[in-house]
Amino acid sequence: MIARVLESIKDFFQTLPLWTKTVTWIALFIQLMSFTGFPTSYLALSWKNVFHKFLFFEVYTYVFLHVSLLHIIFNFASLLPLMAKFEKEHGTFACIFITMVPYTLFPALVHLVAYRFMFLKESISIAGFSGWAFAFISATCVHNPEGPFQNYIQKKYIPLIYLLITTIFVPYASFIGHASGAAAGYATPYIFEHIPLKRWAEKVDSIGNRFKNYQPYDELAYASLPIAEPGTGNPNFPGKGTRLGT
């Protein structure tokens, strides 16, 4: 039984597209470094580190850092299936762009501004993939509003229910990080509609196609942005979520 489960997990990771697999290995490497005692806390995002210590790289590194093994497992479970599906359907370049620009920078900006000017807590930090998970869940639900509970609640509101549940029941979960990630996910169709994605992707694909598991741009896929196929079930529970610490 255990061997069968491990084999299924191995097969799943082997079939991941290029960018999804890359971010998975980056997060696992950072987690391994933290287990060995290597200081990784400076990768988390906080106003104090960015503007007092000038650690500007934190606006990108925070998503790859997780505070515990359980944290990273829950985030992998909620993120990787949706992210892999998106990359396979819409291309590696589109996946890189959507994750590293709106899905990363928007939650980072909201967190910095909120904790500096609203809560006056410059040292509170944010970390984890769950902002991405909420973004992909929201984008999926907006695009595919039909579901088994549609007679009771519209599917596009399900991420908000998850947001409420994680805020109440998950210790140190970042409401701001999750909410801003969900907002970025809801905005995904608008974002792709207002950028020259095809032109950008065609320039990158000529190089990216040299790499194994790189997914080229598919113009037909963009007739139905953002990601889901009809009949797709409800997305996975987002898990531990983005975590906060001092």
Give the CA distances from residue 28 to residues 35, 95, 164, in Å, rounded to whole numbers and listed in that order: 11, 20, 28
Q: Known catalytic residue: 130? A: yes
Give the distance from CA 127 to its chain's centroid: 11
CA distance 157 to 160: 5
Query: Which member of 46, 125, 130, 174 is catalytic?
Result: 130
Strands of the chain (E only): list them: 125-127, 243-245
- Give the tens place of pLDDT for each residue, 126-149: 999 999 999 999 998 887 766 555
Question: Tokens 């299936």 map to which residue?
Answer: 81
Is 2-245 assigned to CATH 1.10.1200.10? Answer: no
**DSSP tally for the chain: helices H, then strands E:** 12, 2
| Interval 229-242: pLDDT, tens | 444 444 443 334 44
**Per-residue pLDDT reduced to its tens digit, 66-92:** 999 999 999 999 999 999 999 998 899
What lies within 8 Å, CB to CB, of 65 at 6+ separation is: 27, 30, 34, 40, 41, 43, 44, 127, 128
Active site residue 52: no
- What pTM, to 2 d.p., does this model score? 0.85
pLDDT of the chain along its 246 residues, tens only?
787 777 888 888 889 999 999 999 999 999 999 999 999 999 999 999 999 999 999 999 999 999 999 999 999 999 999 999 999 988 999 999 999 999 999 999 999 999 999 999 999 999 999 999 999 999 988 877 665 555 567 888 889 999 999 999 988 899 999 999 999 999 999 999 999 998 999 999 999 999 999 999 876 665 555 444 444 444 443 334 444 443
The domain segmentation of the chain, as residue ranges, is 2-245
**Does residue 171 have a cis bond before it (omega within 30 degrees)?**
no
Question: Which entry of 66, 71, 143, 178 is annotated as an active-site residue?
Answer: 178
**Mutual orientation of helices 69-90 and 92-100 as an angle, nearest 10°?**
130
- Contact between residue 118 and residue 163 where contact means Cβ atoms under 8 Å apart: no
Q: How far is it, in rounded angstroms, from Cα 98 to Cα 100?
A: 6
